[in-house]
Structure 1
Amino acid sequence: MDADRFEAMQRSREWFHSLVLLPGAWTVIRVDGRSFSRFTEEHFDKPFDERFGALMAETAQTLFTELDARYAYTESDEISVLLDPSFDMFGREVEKLVSVTAGIASATFTHRAGIPAHFDSRIWMGTSVGDVVDYFSWRQADAARCALNGWCYWTLRKDGKSARAATQVLARSSKADKNELLFAHGVNFAELPAWQRRGVGVWWESFERVGYDPVREVEVAAVRRRARVERELPMKEEYRALIAALTEPTS
């Protein structure tokens, strides 16, 4: 069998789908840590570890810049990256995007932490700015819910309850009950760091940089952009307004 025929035969056995992102759709790629409940319990403080939060923010920033995204948001062990409808990297192939982004997240986190970590990836699509705003409102609401549950669970565990007992207490507790539980242990949930309760956002911001023109021998100012990592996000309607603003056309 000649080499060309042999190669063609092997390539015909490669199995992949041909899904692409819908034309004109806003796209979010969400990466999640694989088995991170056990992973973080083994390597980080609970319920929140400043180092882990910083690692997730750095990983989000890397994904954001690598994809030249509109916005990135991280809470708990997940990162959501918003892609413009005109995004065309990898021909918008879904299979390529989910594999590459999971790889970037895994490599970045592992390199910075010095501990092997794995992420998976999935795709969300919306047809309007309203869809995008709803998506990120949903994820921020999840951040608040997870933060409250996490603080309650680990407060109970540190108070001597077993994992099963702590879970049972939370299963029959309302949001008000959980806040009261924390308050009884000296924790005011509303006063905890905003990044724990609301997540961390990343977006582009413009800044002026002064340089020197050796030809004209004068200082010149140029507008550049950089990734802004925001750990004090607003919430509810203010957050929705921020997301809407970040989807506005760029010049």
Structure 2
Amino acid sequence: MKFTELDRKMRVYETANDLVVLPGVLMVARLDGRGFTKLVRERHPFESPFDPRFRDMMVETGRHLMDCGFNFLLCYSQSDEISLLFHPDEGSFGRKLRKLNSVLAGEASAKFSLLLEDTASFDCRISQLPRAVDVVDYFRWRNEDAHRNALNAHCFWLLRKKGQDPKQAQQALDGLSVAAKNELLFQKGGINFNDLPQWEKRGWVLRWVPITKQAADPNTGEAIEVERRQLALDLDLPMRDAFSEMIRSLLE
């Protein structure tokens, strides 16, 4: 069998289940660290529940993803997850889900592994969102999840540091209201949750911002100003409606 015939025959098995995101549908990629609880608690004991060193590795991974060949408008991260908002016109790989998922997971895994100097991996899934309001709701969902997880994490690790084992700490928190958890932090640890760094409670964002740079005209050599863009890191995100408006403005 000639190669062209063999290639045509076998390619069908590789592409038969290809799913493509339709034009006009907005896309958000979410990457999650695989097995990161063991990775960053046992093999690499970062400070619990939050460690700026781990955050900085996630930021550098986000920077890499934002500039790895796709047109992204925003990178939002909390804990060991990263959400990337594609530009509405992004058409890389014909918008094939298997390509987008595999390439992004590979890029994130490679970058974080280099930073950690150990093997780390991410999975990836694409949310297909029909309207701008759905994009806003997606990021609002992840932002509120960050707040909930941060409160739980601070309570859990406070109890662990007070001598409780993981099962005891979790049982102590089961069924507690948000107000009760805030009170637990204050009474047992002297911690006012509202005073904790905003990046711990709400995550952080990378987005492109325009800048003006001095350059030389290639034809005349005269000094000119040129418009460029660079990534800006925001560790102090607005909350609730202000956060939603920040996301909404990116799609206008």
TM over 0.5, shorter chain: yes
Name the SS for the 1:14 alignment partner.
Answer: helix
Partner of 1:155: 158
Is 2:201 aligned against 1:223? no
Partner of 2:64: 62
Measured against aligned partners, the alpha-carbon deviations of 1:137-170 in whole angstroms (never above 9, x if no partner) come to: 1100000011111111111111100100111111
Measured against aligned partners, the alpha-carbon deviations of 1:64-118 in whole angstroms (never above 9, x if no partner) come to: 2222201110001100001122110010000100011110110111111212111
> Residue 20 of structure 1 contacts residue 94 of structure 1 at CA under 8 Å; is this kept in 2?
yes
Displacement of 1:14: 3.5
**What is the alpha-carbon distance in structure 1 between the residues aligned to residue 10 and residue 220 of structure 2?**
61
Partner of 2:80: 77
TM-score by length of 2: 0.93
Name the SS for the 1:183 alignment partner.
Answer: helix
Partner of 1:205: 209
> Residue 204 of structure 2 contacts residue 236 of structure 2 at CA under 8 Å; is this kept in 1?
yes
User: Which 5+ residue runs of structure 1 have no aligned equivalent?
Assistant: none
**What is the alpha-carbon distance in structure 2 between the residues aligned to residue 5 and residue 96 of structure 1?**
24
Name which of structure 1's ranges 166-175 and 6-15 shifts more when overlaid on structure 2.
Answer: 6-15
Is 2:38 aligned against 1:38? yes
Partner of 2:49: 47
TM-score by length of 1: 0.93
Measured against aligned partners, the alpha-carbon deviations of 1:27-63 in whole angstroms (never above 9, x if no partner) come to: 1000000111222212122100111111111112221
User: Which 5+ residue runs of structure 2 have no aligned equivalent?
Assistant: none
Name the SS for the 1:103 alignment partner.
Answer: helix
**What is the alpha-carbon distance in structure 2 between the residues aligned to residue 217 and residue 99 of structure 1?**
45
Displacement of 1:9: 4.7
Name the SS for the 2:190 alignment partner.
Answer: coil
**What is the alpha-carbon distance in structure 2 between the residues aligned to residue 127 and residue 8 of structure 1?**
34
Is 2:215 aligned against 1:183? no
Q: What percent of counterpart residues are identical?
A: 41
> Residue 61 of structure 1 contacts residue 229 of structure 1 at CA under 8 Å; is this kept in 2?
no
Q: How well do the aligned residues superpose, as a CA RMSD in angstroms?
A: 1.6
> Residue 60 of structure 1 contacts residue 79 of structure 1 at CA under 8 Å; is this kept in 2?
yes
> Residue 17 of structure 1 contacts residue 95 of structure 1 at CA under 8 Å; is this kept in 2?
no
